[in-house]
A and B are shown apart, each in its own frame.
Chain A
């Protein structure tokens, strides 16, 4: 309860505007393209978020405005009679600064798709482009480099390293990317402050609540300024209060221009997205555009904004 009441103070830099008024993705891309100069950047509070947006923009121009593009993406497990097609001919494009939510029942292939998009799994077939690189053609080193520089992961189970403090967990990706210990530490502290955990930097994960752990995981995902953050059921292990914390955090990321793909069961977090994709049996079955994630449209999830409970 106390966390909930403290949250507005913790996220000043990421809460850059009213989420209800957020532009549509295409409009935001256009706006960003127009502001491709230092003057525009200077007007923003969060220069890093803009720098990331600028990168996404450059990438988008190079690759027809998509940070991520999948064509006929397929993932099969087993063979013969026990062949399971976890991801079945999926086509997906994610624009810079767009937030895409993927929903579906358990076992429909959402997580597998997310792992394919982040290069944790190799597709059986199809094309996958991230940051202009063909992920499906990359070797292990190339995939690792891409995960290091272009992707940030947020997992349902947090996956923090038990023996490392919050700060050490957050600085790990930066160290793996070859940053100096001082830079990595500075960046980690900055991110922890941004997610409202500056005072928990020296705490071990065991001493943090579920919501705090997930916020550490989000900070870790942002450590190397990734083009794309992939979140797999980020609120799956959290109680209501912690879920609200994380919802607000993701909303702030979205507003700050971070490209996000979120796999979720939670309609409240899906409601914060620009686009909602429904998945079943490994394939996309429905796609709904949401306006800034908090205003419902006429689609199936029209009332998700109310469910999100961000108003309160």
Chain B
């Protein structure tokens, strides 16, 4: 018990003496756990809103669509059908608003809003009337259209009477995920409007629908309720012989969830990368602390501390930091989740309160502790193994752990200007640290390029949809933005940590190089060069990796790559940032006098 108290007291004292490093470690683990929490609790957030919408609109369990009204109506004769509505006539239409053109599935309805199944819930304005149409809310939101606005359907003018939601159709832009019956024109010779982009649903009176159906003909929809709704999916899947397309409520619910499915993928991929970066951050921090504290390790051992005690103190410090960071990350993730888990305009109701279950909390905690443990284990074991005499003899860990020698790089460096000469040698003397820098740069570049590819592809998609905003793209963009901000934050923390550790580790050789005639500026440039050179392979690898990541995560058939100029600019920007960030801690470490360093450290 006394031993645990001692470890605790030593760990707490060390944490209190190093507030900046502790804060950065907290930030790294907290960011990773917050994003992980977000990704985990976004599971199933649309389930509740879909059920709420289904209840409010008397949503169908099964929807049948087809060109023949009588065949579509056959669905009402299926066993277990308890209620039905339709057949409702529908047609495809070219939609024109002020400044935009789009495509719509227009469904005919009676003016009285009393359908037994699928009566869309009006969220603004009124129900359909002659000349007055109702737009599906997510579609209207993307178009920027509101009640009272004028639109055209197949060249005919209408007024927007209202906005509504329905559980019988997947909201814009995923309408066709469940069958949208958009075909070619009846008469190819006719002057039919082009139908480009993703359709949304518009309700109009039956007579209005018939008045605009001359180009694309009519389709019919019948909605039914089942005694056992759970059978809907099986009926829909087994209905191949049936002369209509059948869509189950389960398929509709899944299509509704598409809004957050991609978002979730983005967050999961982002989380993975962020956890890796956090791991690198904490590893650098732990390694850096060991460099600074070798003498302390020696003192602990000289005062009777065992290797276990030394390793225990270091582990206790980082596990304590990880625990606090995981708590903060869980809280931040839980509070932020509602922002990202909004069901969108296509559904009504609020999502399930973000479910911070014991499972989620346990997983997040385990990841945080795992990161701390993995990152601290090697330095802790090394500290435990450090000889007491060698630790006491040198304040620099460099004295205990000899730098690596790379003969070829040293020979190559002689041909370079002084900053690159010193920088290359700095990078070469600690290859594992250089690998961490490279990995960090690779992750950051990968994410940055994936974001650029996403925006480039989304921009092309936006153009192809005549400028209509895509809510999924917007949501993915928000999630990507969140992930990227956190990733950049961690990359900055990493770059600062690496610069600091390198500067502390190279304090002796830097002071010596200065004594031999290098200027302080040349040494700062060398630090920047060392980080830049270590990051360069990572940045180069990050470009194709980013494109591959986007292709894999988005399942896109076609990727619109960002321009080569933009990719080069991004890569150079990351490289410059890594180099510049290394200078900040190096400048702080270099503040001590040369003679002070040379007198305090032995070779």
Interface residues of A (CB under 8 A from B): 111-112, 115, 118, 120-121, 140-141, 144-145, 147-149, 153, 155, 157-164, 168, 171-173, 175-178, 181, 184-185, 204-206, 213, 220, 224
Given A121-B595, A155-B598, A171-B414, are A145 and B517 neighbors across the interface (CB < 8 Å)? yes
Contacting pair B509 A161 (CB below 8 A): yes
Which of B405, B517, B598 has a CB less than 8 Å from the CB of A163?
B405
Q: Compute how far the CA of A181 lies from the CA of B417 in the bound complex, rounded to whole angstroms.
A: 11
**Closest A residue, CB atoms, query B519:** A144
Given A153-B515, A155-B598, A176-B513, are A160 and B429 neighbors across the interface (CB < 8 Å)? no
Besides A140-B520, A163-B405, 13 more A-B contacts (Cβ < 8 Å) are: A111-B595, A115-B594, A140-B519, A144-B517, A147-B516, A157-B598, A157-B602, A159-B508, A162-B398, A162-B603, A175-B418, A178-B418, A213-B603
Interface residues contributed by chain B, number (CB under 8 Å): 33
**Closest A residue, CB atoms, query B418:** A176
Q: Compute how far the CA of A157 lies from the CA of B595 in the bound complex, rounded to whole angstroms.
A: 12
**Closest B residue, CB atoms, query A116:** B595
A120 CB to closest chain B CB (Å) equals 4
Instruction: Please name the 6 residue pairs, one residue from A and one from B, whose CB atoms are nearest each other, closest first.
Output: A148-B517, A115-B595, A181-B414, A144-B519, A163-B405, A120-B595
Contacting pair B405 A121 (CB below 8 A): no
Q: Compute how far the CA of A185 lies from the CA of B410 in the bound complex, rounded to whole angstroms.
A: 13
Q: Compute how far the CA of A178 lies from the CA of B514 in the bound complex, rounded to whole angstroms.
A: 14
Q: Compute how far the CA of A168 lies from the CA of B520 in the bound complex, rounded to whole angstroms.
A: 21
B-side contacts of A163, CB under 8 Å: 402-405, 410, 425, 429
Q: Compute how far the CA of A172 lies from the CA of B512 in the bound complex, rounded to whole angstroms.
A: 11
Contacting pair B517 A177 (CB below 8 A): yes
Contacting pair B512 A141 (CB below 8 A): no
Which of B405, B429, B515, B602 has a CB less than 8 Å from the CB of A147?
B515
Contacting pair A176 B595 (CB below 8 A): no
Contacting pair B593 A176 (CB below 8 A): no
A-side contacts of B518, CB under 8 Å: 144, 148, 176
22 of the cross-chain contacts (CB-CB < 8 Å) are: A111-B599, A118-B515, A120-B593, A120-B595, A140-B519, A140-B520, A144-B520, A144-B522, A147-B516, A148-B518, A149-B517, A157-B601, A158-B603, A159-B598, A163-B403, A172-B516, A176-B516, A176-B517, A176-B518, A181-B414, A181-B415, A184-B414
Q: Compute how far the CA of A161 lies from the CA of B399 in the bound complex, rounded to whole angstroms.
A: 10
Contacting pair B517 A159 (CB below 8 A): no
Given A121-B595, A163-B405, are A173 and B414 neighbors across the interface (CB < 8 Å)? no
Q: Please report whether the interface of chain A is mostly helix, strand, loop or mixed according to DSSP.
A: helix
The answer to whether the Cβ of B408 comes within 8 Å of any Cβ in the partner chain is: no
A-side contacts of B558, CB under 8 Å: none
B-side contacts of A112, CB under 8 Å: 595
Q: Please report whether the interface of chain B is mostly helix, strand, loop or mixed according to DSSP.
A: helix
Contacting pair B410 A164 (CB below 8 A): yes
A-side contacts of B403, CB under 8 Å: 162-163
Q: Compute how far the CA of A157 lies from the CA of B599 in the bound complex, rounded to whole angstroms.
A: 8
B-side contacts of A111, CB under 8 Å: 595, 599
Interface residues of B (CB under 8 A from A): 398, 402-405, 410, 414-415, 418, 421, 425, 429, 508-509, 512-522, 593-595, 598-599, 601-603
B577 CB to closest chain A CB (Å) equals 26
Q: Compute how far the CA of A158 lies from the CA of B414 in the bound complex, rounded to whole angstroms.
A: 22
A-side contacts of B402, CB under 8 Å: 162-163, 206
**Closest A residue, CB atoms, query B594:** A120
**Chain B CB within 10 A, most for which of A144, A148, A155, A224:** A144
A-side contacts of B521, CB under 8 Å: 140-141
In the complex, how many residue pairs between chain A and chain B have their CB atoms under 8 Å apart?
Answer: 91
A-side contacts of B425, CB under 8 Å: 163
B506 CB to closest chain A CB (Å) equals 10
A229 CB to closest chain B CB (Å) equals 13
**Closest B residue, CB atoms, query A142:** B519
A-side contacts of B519, CB under 8 Å: 140-141, 144-145
Contacting pair A120 B516 (CB below 8 A): no
A-side contacts of B509, CB under 8 Å: 161
A222 CB to closest chain B CB (Å) equals 12
A-side contacts of B398, CB under 8 Å: 162
Given A168-B410, A181-B414, are A159 and B512 neighbors across the interface (CB < 8 Å)? yes
Q: Compute how far the CA of A172 lies from the CA of B414 in the bound complex, rounded to whole angstroms.
A: 9
Q: Compute how far the CA of A213 lies from the CA of B603 in the bound complex, rounded to whole angstroms.
A: 10
B-side contacts of A140, CB under 8 Å: 519-521
B-side contacts of A168, CB under 8 Å: 410
A-side contacts of B517, CB under 8 Å: 144-145, 147-149, 173, 176-177, 224
B-side contacts of A177, CB under 8 Å: 517
**Closest A residue, CB atoms, query B417:** A178
A-side contacts of B520, CB under 8 Å: 140, 144
Q: Compute how far the CA of A158 lies from the CA of B520 in the bound complex, rounded to whole angstroms.
A: 22
Contacting pair B603 A160 (CB below 8 A): yes
**Chain A CB within 10 A, most for which of B405, B421, B517, B594:** B517
Q: Compute how far the CA of A96 lies from the CA of B601 in the bound complex, rounded to whole angstroms.
A: 32
B-side contacts of A148, CB under 8 Å: 516-518
Q: Compute how far the CA of A164 lies from the CA of B404 in the bound complex, rounded to whole angstroms.
A: 10
**Closest B residue, CB atoms, query A226:** B517
B-side contacts of A121, CB under 8 Å: 593-595
**Closest A residue, CB atoms, query B514:** A144
B-side contacts of A145, CB under 8 Å: 517, 519
Q: Compute how far the CA of A148 lies from the CA of B520 in the bound complex, rounded to whole angstroms.
A: 13
B-side contacts of A205, CB under 8 Å: 603
Given A144-B518, A163-B429, are A175 and B595 neighbors across the interface (CB < 8 Å)? no
**Closest A residue, CB atoms, query B422:** A176
Contacting pair B595 A173 (CB below 8 A): no
Contacting pair A159 B421 (CB below 8 A): no
B-side contacts of A172, CB under 8 Å: 513, 516
**Closest B residue, CB atoms, query A181:** B414
Q: Compute how far the CA of A172 lies from the CA of B593 in the bound complex, rounded to whole angstroms.
A: 21
B508 CB to closest chain A CB (Å) equals 8
B-side contacts of A204, CB under 8 Å: 405
B393 CB to closest chain A CB (Å) equals 10
**Closest A residue, CB atoms, query B523:** A144
A69 CB to closest chain B CB (Å) equals 21
B600 CB to closest chain A CB (Å) equals 10
Contacting pair B418 A159 (CB below 8 A): no
B-side contacts of A173, CB under 8 Å: 516-517
Q: Compute how far the CA of A173 lies from the CA of B515 in the bound complex, rounded to whole angstroms.
A: 9
A134 CB to closest chain B CB (Å) equals 18
Q: Compute how far the CA of A168 lies from the CA of B429 in the bound complex, rounded to whole angstroms.
A: 14
Q: Compute how far the CA of A176 lies from the CA of B417 in the bound complex, rounded to whole angstroms.
A: 8
Q: Compute how far the CA of A217 lies from the CA of B508 in the bound complex, rounded to whole angstroms.
A: 15
A104 CB to closest chain B CB (Å) equals 16
A86 CB to closest chain B CB (Å) equals 11
Contacting pair B421 A175 (CB below 8 A): yes
Which of A118, A149, A159, A181 has a CB less than 8 Å from the CB of B603?
A159
Q: Compute how far the CA of A141 lies from the CA of B524 in the bound complex, rounded to whole angstroms.
A: 13
